[in-house]
Amino acid sequence: MDISTTRNKPFRVGFLLIDGFALMSYSAAVEPLRAANLLADRELYAVEHLPVVGGQSVASSGAIVKATAHLGERVDFDLLLVVAGGDPMRFFEPRVFQWLRHLSRRGVLIGGVSGGPVILARAGIMDGRRMTVHWEHAPALAEFEPSLLLERNIYVIDRDRLTCAGATAALDMMHALITAHHGADFATRVSDWFVHTEIRPAGWPQRAGPVQRYGTSSPLVLQAIELMENHMADPLALDQIAQLVGLSARQLNRLFRSQLGRSTMGFYRDLRLDMADNLLRQSALGVTEIALASGFANSAHFSDSYRRRFGRAPSAGRRPEGSRAL
């Protein structure tokens, strides 16, 4: 199955909105469909909104989207998009997971926006399919299910699955969907409607490059950081990093201090602690599991390092459920 269609009747899209979803992610996915209907002067897309429970869904901003359909009703969709924010790793609704598996067996196109792909993965319907998710959720999801074919692109379309990092990336994914349905010229008219004139391809990175993130253009420093990022659970020694970038340990330390104001291993430790802090806020993994995933030999060493870096115990780094949406 692919996302193209040749039929004349409206393409039916359901939005399953998980309370705490980000309004920007939802709007960037639904508004292009509304604009397509407006510009075509006919209903190309029929949209329904589904809450998990009750008669409405509530965004992280407090905005309310009223339900027009409900889980379990005999509503046929061509595409169902799950939009989630906050802490999707903590979402556990067996009824939702069962319904998603039911739609998957029926051959419905299913997608996720921002934290939505986490819900799809937890429902067990992403096996063998490439996918993406917002970069902040990616480490926790990779720890939860290492076998997932997880990419860091802004969106991924793999057969009957559409996944998107959220926010403005949803505009790009919907541009691809509308292009598949109605051609590039019409999709460009829709994008122009939103003054979204630079359409990004699926493989576009989610974040600024390392030069912008770390404030250095030194090729050797960037090479060393890439090695660190690829060895978080199994940290390299200073001599190993230095050898791999072609410097002595002393030269590498001098370069890191001049470029980043920190020693090589001090930077490396903070990088691993930042990842651990993200896992604490985005996953239900235990402190010992997070310590090992971020390259610390035991929870005591991790807790001591974490407290020195953040001024609090790891247990205090847990994010209250629903406190943030992306």
Q: Can you give the pLDDT at residue 307?
A: 92
Instruction: Just give the CATH number of 210-312.
Output: 1.10.10.60
What does each C-alpha distance from 69 to 92, 209, 307 come to in angstroms? Answer: 21, 41, 47
Q: Which residue blocks in 123-248 are alpha helix, DSSP H?
A: 138-144, 169-182, 184-193, 210-214, 219-229, 238-245
Q: Can you give the pLDDT at residue 3?
A: 58
Count of CA atoms in the C-beta half-sphere (13 A) of 93: 16
Q: What percentage of residues in the chain have a pLDDT greater than 70?
A: 90
What does each C-alpha distance from 89 to 122, 269, 279 come to in angstroms? Answer: 8, 25, 10
Task: Bin 86: left if φ > 0, else alpha if -120 < ψ < 50, else beta.
Answer: left
Mean pLDDT in the chain? 87
In the chain, which ranges are E strands? 11-17, 45-51, 56-58, 64-66, 79-84, 109-114, 130-132, 149-151, 155-158, 161-164
Domain range annotation of the chain: 11-193, 210-312
Cα dihedral 239, 243, 247, 252, rounded to 10, equals -40
> Residue 293: phi, psi to the nearest 5?
-65, -25
pLDDT by residue (tens digit) across 215-273? 888 888 888 887 887 788 888 899 999 988 888 999 999 999 999 999 999 999 998 99
Question: 144 or 105: which carries more pLDDT confidence?
Answer: 105
pLDDT by residue (tens digit) across 148-179? 888 888 898 888 999 999 889 999 999 989 98
**pLDDT band at residue 71 using 50, 70 and 90 as cut-offs:** confident
Residues 6+ apart with CB under 8 A from 210: 222, 225, 226
In three-state secondary structure terms, 109 is strand
Q: Count H helices, E strands: the chain?
A: 13, 10
Residues 6+ apart with CB under 8 A from 219: none
Is pTM beyond 0.85? Reply is no
Q: Can you give the pLDDT at residue 324?
A: 46
CB atoms within 10 A of CB 173: 27
| Domain 11-193 listed as CATH 1.20.1260.10 | no
Sign of the Cα pseudo-torsion (142, 294, 87, 166, in order): negative
Q: Can you give the pLDDT at residue 317?
A: 66
> Residue 248: phi, psi to the nearest 5?
-80, 160
In three-state secondary structure terms, 150 is strand
> Contact 325/20 with Cβ under 8 angstroms?
yes
What is the C-alpha to C-alpha distance for residues 197 and 215, in angstroms, rounded to an integer? 28
**pLDDT band at residue 289 using 50, 70 and 90 as cut-offs:** confident
Task: Bin 221: left if φ > 0, else alpha if -120 < ψ < 50, else beta.
Answer: alpha
What does each C-alpha distance from 325 to 62, 138, 180 come to in angstroms? Answer: 11, 15, 30
Which residues, in sequence order, are bridge partners of residue 112? 82, 163
Q: Given a cut of 90, is residue 316 above it in pLDDT?
A: no
Q: What is residue 264's DSSP assignment?
A: H
What is the C-alpha to C-alpha distance for residues 296 and 291, in angstroms, rounded to an integer? 5
CB atoms within 10 A of CB 217: 11
> Contact 132/150 with Cβ under 8 angstroms?
yes
CB atoms within 10 A of CB 26: 27
